[in-house]
Amino acid sequence: MPRSRRRGLICALAGAVAILTAGCASSTPGAGDYRPPPAVVNAELIANVTPLYPYTGPESGRANHHTTVEGPAFGPDGQLYFTDATAPPRAPKILRLDPSTKQVTPIYTDETSFYSSAQFSPRDGRLYATDLLGGKIDSMNADGSDVRTVLSGAVAGHPMRPDDLTFDLDGSMFIADMAGTPWAPTGRIIRTDANGADPTVLADNMPSPNGISFDPQHSALWVSQFGGNRVDHLVLASDHRSVTDGHTALTHDGGLGRFDSNAVDADGNLYQANYGAGEMLVYDDMGAVILTVRVPQTLPEPQLLVTNVAIQPGTRNAYMTVGGKKGMRF
C-alpha cells in the first residue's frame, strides 16, 4: 500500500470462484501442458465509500492527489470493514460496509493514523490495523472502542513500516514490513505472538513487502513485493516461528502497475491486486493466471488503484478496494 493519495470505491466480484474452477489446465488426452487463455471479467461497482478530501499538501503533490482505501476484512458480524488510509485528521479512518444494504458506517477516527490494512484476530475477535506511517499496530473492538496499541517501535534495531498483516489459527500475527527498494531491499516479515509480544524477524532483505496471506493449510505464506512486482512463497516450520524454505513463486512485467495486497481462496488460488493497472490477477498455485478482473472505467477520472480484496465467507463473492481521483469504491 503506497503513500500517495486520490479518491475511493468498492467493487464486487460475484461468482469469481465459480469461474476459477473452470480455468484449470485441460485434462484432454494429448493436451500436454496446454492451458486455455485466462478469462477476463469486469467487476461490479457496489458503493462509493469515501470522497476525495480537499488537498492540503505542497503544491508539488497536487497532481497525485487521491484517496487510498485498504483493508478489507469481513467481521464476525458479516460486515465488511476497511480503512481510509489517506483520510485527513478526524475524518473516518476505519469504516464498515453492509453488503446487503450497501450502507457505510464510520467506526473510528483520530488525528494521525495512516491505517493501510485491517484484519480480525481468530483469538480475541478484535480488529487489528496497521499504521504504516506511525510504525505501529492498533487493535480495537468492532465498534471502534477500546483502542490499544499492541506493537510499536523498533524491531531488531530497525523501525517498522507495517503495511499488511495476517493471522495463523492460534492468533499469532505475521506482518509485512514495507521498507526498502529494489536497490536497497530492507523489507521484512515479522512475527509476533497473539498479544503482539515477542516480535521476531522471519525473513528480510525484501523490496517493500506488501500483501501477506496464508495458504489454505496455514503452512506457508504468499508475500507480494511492491518494489519487486513479484510474489514469494515462504514455507513455515510447524510452530510458525521460522521459515524453512522459500522462493520467488511468480513475477509480473506490469509496467506502471505494482503488486499490492492479496488474498487466498479455499482452493489455494491467489488474488493479487495490481495497483495502478486497474485490475486484479488471480493465479493458481502453480503460478498460472486463471482470471483477470478489471475495473470498469465508468467515472470521469481513471480508477486504477486496486489495493486489496476480501472473499466473503461462505459465498463465491469477492470485494476489492479501488481508488482514483473520484474517491474510493467497492
Model confidence band, residue 21 (pLDDT cutoffs 50, 70, 90) = very low
In one-letter notation, the amino acid at residue 161 is R
- With a pLDDT cut of 70, the percent of the chain lying above it is 83
Question: Closest Cα partner for 136 from 212, 190, 72, 185?
Answer: 190
Q: What is the mean pLDDT of residues 190-198?
A: 94
Residues in the chain: 330
pLDDT at 116 over 80: yes
- What b-and-e string marks burial along 294-306, b requiring 16 or more CB atoms within 10 Å of the CB? bbeeebeeebbbb
Is 55 or 143 the better-scoring residue by pLDDT? 143
| 6-25 CB burial, b ≥16 within 10 A, e <16 | bbbbbbbbbebbebbeebee
Alpha helical stretches, state H, the chain: 16-21
Using the 8-state DSSP alphabet, how is residue 161 labeled?
Answer: -
Question: What is the pLDDT at residue 314?
Answer: 85
Query: pLDDT value at position 15?
Result: 33
String of b and e for 151-190 (b: at least 16 CB within 10 Å)? bbeebeeeebbbbbbbbbeebbbbbbbbbbeeeebebbbb
Cell of 13: 466480484
What are the chain's domains? 9-24+36-55+65-329 (2.120.10.30)
Q: pLDDT for 279-288, tens place per residue?
A: 999 999 999 9
> Comparing 146 with 330, which gets the higher pLDDT?
146
Type of residue found at 35: R
pLDDT tier at 45 (50, 70, 90 boundaries)?
confident
**Residue 268 corresponds to which cell in the numbers above?**
489455494
Q: What are phi and psi of 146, to 5 degrees?
A: 55, 55
- In the predicted model, is pLDDT for residue 265 greater than 70? yes
- Give the pLDDT band of residue 244 (cuts 50, 70, 90): very high
- Residues 156, 245, 206: CA angle, nearest 5 degrees: 45
Which of 3-12, 113-122, 199-208, 263-272 has the least mean pLDDT? 3-12
Tell whether the model's pLDDT for residue 144 goes beyond 60: yes
Strand partners, 235: 220, 245
Give the distance from CA 291 to its chain's centroid.
18
- Examine the pLDDT at 97 and tell me if it is beyond 60: yes
Nearest to 67 by CA among 111, 110, 105, 114: 114
- Alpha-carbon distance 254 to 281, whole Å? 11
69 vs 86: CA distance, rounded Å: 8
Burial of 127 (0-12, 13-18, 19+ CB in 10 A): buried
Digit-coded pLDDT (tens) for 272-320: 999 999 999 999 999 999 999 998 887 767 788 899 999 999 888 899 9
